[in-house]
Amino acid sequence: MSDCTFCDIVSGEGPAEVVFEDELTLAFMDIVPYTDGHTLVIPKRHSADIFELEQPEADAVWRTTIRLAHAIRDALSPAGLTVRQANGRVADQHIMHFHIHLIPRDQREKRGSLTQIGEFAERIRAALGRSDPRTPTS
């Protein structure tokens, strides 16, 4: 295990409910979700924050973010979607590996259980047309 929780997830050593993976990015369910369907998008290569993020990872992260936003909308039909990204502890970044939060929003907010997280992950994977999120796409 490394010192980075997200790097552990990328390597397969850390647990995660993965919904999407390609050559440069990984998307998985947040283990402590703000709302049902809360998903994280990260570059596979470690970058602590936006100031360390380089091309082509930056482009890849945004492509994956947009793809996942559409999948979340299709799978969960939220009233809205918050896209959040923080840099540094003072900005409320808890894991020092660049990541983008996709947080579905409705009038009510609730936190899901691990079972519910898995169910929402499956619905998002289905909206992406992927049963195995770790199979690279073209």
Per residue, the 3-state secondary structure of 28-86, as one string, reads EECCCCCCCCCEEEEECCCCCCCCCCCCCHHHHHHHHHHHHHHHHHHHHCCCEEEEECC
The CATH number of the domain where 120 resides is what? 3.30.428.10
Residue 117 lies in a domain: yes
Counted domains in the chain: 1
Residue 26 lies in a domain: yes
* pTM > 0.95: no
The pLDDT assigned to 106 comes to 87
Residue (of 21, 44, 46) closest to 121 by Cα position: 21
User: Is 94 annotated as catalytic?
Assistant: no
User: 21 is in which domain, residue-wise?
Assistant: 5-128
The pLDDT assigned to 138 comes to 54
> Is 107's pLDDT higher than 80?
no
Residue 57 lies in a domain: yes
Mean pLDDT throughout 12-18? 95
Residue 74 lies in a domain: yes
Residue 133 lies in a domain: no
Pick the catalytic residue from 46, 97, 99, 101. 99
Residue (of 79, 83, 124, 126) closest to 103 by Cα position: 83
User: Are the beta carbons of 78 and 72 closer than 8 angstroms?
Assistant: yes
